Structure 1
């Protein structure tokens, strides 16, 4: 097996092991919740016979390890069970919600990724200038603020004061694309402001690090313009850390939308997760949590693989 394939195989194996550990943690966390789930769902007026039948339906009468293996095998097959709050199949509830979360994340990524790379290149090109210091100060400020604070500021200014965009981002399948984009402008802007800062600063730092390399000095001695040196020579050689931080921020966009979805009442998987926690709908909480974890691990795995492919030193560690 080639070194590249061996590295990728190790990353995949480690990702699978990580998912297994996360699934155990999710299951154990639910098991440690106080009280009896059947009694909490059915209420205090339920008869012992009803509680016993409900416990059998949820497989609560089985040992914990058997319930875990049954839950995990059903999850792998795509059978998430039924919601305790409405009795509907969880797969149907999650499918539409998860698609909405992916739409919001993809919209934010389509704006944030090119914007952050462009700002990072310009900051490196005009290093230590007023533009560089201003953009660094602004991005550092964005990193320091939590998502909900930025979201409420945008709502107060763009929705409450100016009335330009709706404060509640409600979408459905019947809406055309431009209406969906208009509805998700504020949550998309919130996510963009948060992740752009991370990606822009990493792009700037990576390019500045490459600018001290000997081949960059040679390019300058040849009389090439600084813009050409940065864009054509420095940026391609700084791609490995840039790709890594972009992939990690894409993972954040998918998984970290929970707070943003709650603030804007966006019908995504994060909002469903919060609603299910308040209703103690444990099967939905378990399924949503493991889907978020799987998405995050897969995108982290993608970041590792792309970093290996784009970096010769990682492709040939010896």
Structure 2
């Protein structure tokens, strides 16, 4: 138990160090953007005096290291600054948007994870059969197409031709849970098509790998049904790689939803990031990028911890 605690502590320290490096990269990336931020916000008609005064107000006249330190100190206290577009606190704009993105990711996970695991177990059960080949071809075909292509195909079928689902995921704070699920079901279906293949293939491969173990052969010799062996014996012992791929895909659902949110005009954090980049609203861009990084690193850390708990062999690894 002590060794496990030390490993978890080391992983936490590594995650914090990674996040610190990412914060530097985000700040430098924003600094390297072409053009003058003050000029871009005020427009070409602004006088040089007005631009200089605005630069001082934004503290753009200070050295980059001083501004990075001030930004990092503010982030540590939950203060991301104020938006350049409307002057509102960035934290107020991000809160509701982040909640929408998390809701879409959780809804997609509730659909995709059970579906992928069931398809993976069935593909392992019917290994090298027509069913296995059809499932593999179908899921890999979905993942081969760009997200926007799948989104437009689903809009064409379910919104325009069948008129079952809305083409725009316009949610608001006053919507009930049922109405909200109905509204975002189409983007959730799009993301499900994208992430199911990864989890299904990993589940199938992990189960097939465990099926070659000696205790599985013994269970088969005893006459235990193959489906029972897969569900009760093979799958629980293949949880470690499955947990990893599920966590990575959940991180993708939160971090990689930008294109889907733009296609469906969904008011999430990805849509806010795109709008802020177009407006050169740098505080919002920095905050959105940092939050995406925190979520991705946190989910990877959770995946590492769960993998160590489910697989004793990983507890002996060293960083």
Which of the five TM-score ranges fits, normalised by the shorter chain? over 0.9
The residue that corresponds to 2:202 in the other structure is: 202
Q: How does 1:1-318 map to 2 (within 5 A)?
A: 2-317=2-317
How much has 1:130 moved relative to structure 2?
Answer: 1.4
Residue deviations 1:255-308 (CA, integer Å, cap 9, x gap):
111110000000000000000111111111111111111111111111111111
The CA distance in 1 between the partners of 2:57 and 2:299, in whole Å, is 35
Question: 1:7 Cα deviation (Å)?
Answer: 1.5
Change beyond 3 A, Cα 1:138–1:34: same
- Structure 2: gaps (5+ residues): none
CA distance in 1, matches of 2:44, 2:255: 36
Instruction: Name segments (4+ residues, structure 1) moved above 4 Å.
Output: none
Superposed CA RMSD in Å reads: 1.2
- Give 1:52 deviation, angstroms: 2.4
| In 2, Cα distance between equivalents of 1:317 and 1:254 | 29
Q: What TM-score, normalized by structure 1, do the two folds share?
A: 0.97
Provide Cα deviations, 1:5-32, integer angstroms capped at 9, x if missing partner: 1221221111111111111111111111
Deviations 1:209-247 (A, max 9, x none): 000000101111111111111111100100000001001
Q: C-alpha separation between the residues in 1 aligned to 2:44 and 2:137? A: 56
The Cα of 1:316 is off from its aligned counterpart by 3.0
Deviation for aligned residue 1:57: 1.8
| 1:164 Cα deviation from its structure 2 partner | 1.2
Tell me how far apart the structure 1 counterparts of residues 292 and 317 of structure 2 sit (CA, whole Å).
32
Greater alpha carbon shift after TM alignment, 17-26 vs 200-209: 17-26
Cα deviation for residue 201 of structure 1 reads 0.6
Deviations 1:44-85 (A, max 9, x none): 332333222211221111110010011111112111111111
Please list every run of 5 or more consecutive structure 1 residues that lacks an aligned counterpart in the other structure: none
How far apart are the structure 2 equivalents of 1:248 and 1:264?
24
